[in-house]
Chains A and B, each alone.
Chain A
Amino acid sequence: MHPFFRRRWPLALYLGAWILIGLMFTALVWLAGSVPFERALLVMEPVVLVYGLVCLSAYWVCRKHPAGTTPAPRLANAVIVAALQASAMWVALSAPWSALVTRLGVIRADRDVLLIGFAALFVAGVPLYLISVAVHYLLLTFEASREAERRALESQVAAREAEVRALRAQLNPHFLFNSLNSINALVGAHPEAARRMCESLGDFLRQTLALGARESVSLGEELALVDRYLAIERVRFGERLRVECRLEPAVERCLVPPLLLQPLVENAIKHGIAERIEGGTVRIAAARHDGVLTIEVENDADPDARSRRGAGVGLANVRRRLDALEGRDTRLDVRRIADQFRVTLTLPARVAEGGAGGGR
């Protein structure tokens, strides 16, 4: 639908403009000679308003030939053809009307005068149509910029939402309650260990909140968070959980979006190690090559494990956050080879400026 019909005031403004143009035509007819003003008004206003409606068709002409991308000759051609057609249509629509008003005796005009009148309409119709085209181009530009604004806002909201979701996923209730249960168990026989675990849990939660509030953090900080997390999970899983970490020198200073690594490690434990009676190893590796940072989290997996409830939610979360945060030059690859499950995160390697090692 034409945008003028979507709201009231643009249409009112547009019709108002055409009423004014109608007044000008009335004045011309009146000045030309023998017709009293009221009669000229009665005849000319409908004629001009009808053309106002015809000129709304410029909207579709403009939409079909966007100003920025259409080559100028093609654009000019399309617009002029449309203007001639509209003008011809105006004359065609005016003819029965003039016949009617002449028959009713509102005006008196002979054939020649009418023909001159139609010719004048045809000549005036073309520039009027061109003006309408210009107005519509302005309108479209305005609409496009508003649309772009809206989209920018939407993507901002999406990024925010992804962040909130990530934080919520981080504070995974299953993990929290199980950890509290472990503390509960330790209090009786190993109060020292219970105290340590309270500390680890507190540290982990505090760190999560602190890192989550920042735009980017160093990989070292992410790894420290993972360490805290692993300290807690080791109490729960005991000997069943083994961890290997292989880091190339200086990767720890690379900047990464916060809270991406820990969910991957949590996934590896939840869907890998926890599914195996004998437990297994989580391998974390990070390397930097030609400006690209590669982070790998690999775990032993049960070859015939069922996909457990909630499986894939963690990965989907990380993926969504990557999409919202970075764009095209980041990748998340998931591979399953026999009883190994590997997630590879590829990011552009950026290093904190000033060598402070921290984020902003």
Chain B
Amino acid sequence: MAGAERELAIAIVDDEAPARALLREYLSREPGTRVVAESANGYEAVKAIAETRPDLVLLDIQMPKLDGFEVLDLIEPAPRSDSGPGPPGGDADAWRPVVVFCTAYDEYALKAFEVHAVDYLLKPFGRERLTAALARVRARLTEAERGGAPTAPAPATLAAAARPPGQWLERLLVKDGARVHVIPVDAIDYLEAQDDYVAIHSEGRSWLKTQPLSELTQGFDPNRFVRIHRSYVLNIARLARIELYARDSRVAILADGRQLPVSRSGHARLKELM
């Protein structure tokens, strides 16, 4: 098996030059690896990862602009390109890199990694650790190619698990082509589930994000955002009043006059908060 090792295309993402240099040095001595991208911040990383489609991303957590979890969130699975070592047969699974987090110290993130079986390297680490991590990555990729279900958790789930208790999500990131839009959570009026998407309504515009509604709102402060209906989550700061529409059915009227349906259990949740 050893001779048949596939080459790993690797992206390095870390804002500190010495940390990047260290990874490069270690990797130069690892056979069967190739560094295809090196980024010093989250925006660069998102772009570089989308362009180079590496097998593996070595990802720092604390970085300017976008942290590691947000970068992970913005990596969009894509159909495997013709160039890559495509899977045999018709099992054309989406491309999604394996991520190994590299971090110095982050109590909550480490807990999240343990819980969700995400690989990580603790700085400072020696070369053997990296070698071991690479072996696990190869095993994981081989398994994925054989059709084994990838076990990686959804980025939002991981990010929510890594947040210190009592701290809530402050912003959502939406990728729009090559651009990344930052939507502060406070500026959101409401969220609306539409098929596989969630429409985020904020300041008169709406953005689409491919994610289940419940997953997207995991990190939201439950005292400010309420699921008023199977398909709607409302920022209660925007709520003007609730009106009885028919027997047992209500509508929420927002400050700007828009109306959203309120289910019975949604109304119960709202009442509990008010």
Binding site for B on A (CB under 8 A): 173-174, 176-178, 180-186, 188-189, 235-238, 274-277, 302, 304, 306-310
B17 contacts chain A at the CB level, 8 A cutoff: yes
Residue of B nearest to A182 (CB): B18
Across the interface, do B21 and A275 meet the contact criterion of CB distance under 8 Å? no
Across the interface, do B18 and A173 meet the contact criterion of CB distance under 8 Å? no
Across the interface, do A184 and B41 meet the contact criterion of CB distance under 8 Å? no
Across the interface, do B25 and A177 meet the contact criterion of CB distance under 8 Å? no
* Residue from the list B15, B106, B123, B163 in contact with A274, Cβ < 8 A: B15
Which residues from B are CB-within-8-Å of A277?
40-41, 43, 64-65
Binding site for A on B (CB under 8 A): 15-19, 21-22, 25, 40-41, 43, 62, 64-65, 67, 104-106, 108, 122-125, 163-164, 167, 170-171, 182
* Residue from the list A177, A189, A310 in contact with B122, Cβ < 8 A: A177
Which residues from B are CB-within-8-Å of A185?
18-19, 21-22, 25
A237-B64 contact in complex given A304-B182, A309-B163, C-beta closer than 8 Å: no
Which residues from B are CB-within-8-Å of A307?
170
B21 → chain A closest CB, angstroms: 5
A204 to B17, CA, bound (A): 22
Across the interface, do A235 and B123 meet the contact criterion of CB distance under 8 Å? no
Which residues from B are CB-within-8-Å of A174?
62, 104-106
A151 to B242, CA, bound (A): 52
A188-B25 contact in complex given A178-B16, A276-B64, A309-B167, C-beta closer than 8 Å: yes
Across the interface, do A309 and B22 meet the contact criterion of CB distance under 8 Å? no
Which residues from B are CB-within-8-Å of A178?
16, 19, 104, 123
B177 → chain A closest CB, angstroms: 20
Across the interface, do B124 and A180 meet the contact criterion of CB distance under 8 Å? yes
A275 to B122, CA, bound (A): 21
Across the interface, do A181 and B62 meet the contact criterion of CB distance under 8 Å? no
A274 to B21, CA, bound (A): 18
For the complex with contacts A174-B105, A178-B19, A277-B41, 5 further pairs of A-B residues with Cβ separation under 8 Å are: A173-B104, A181-B18, A274-B64, A277-B64, A304-B182
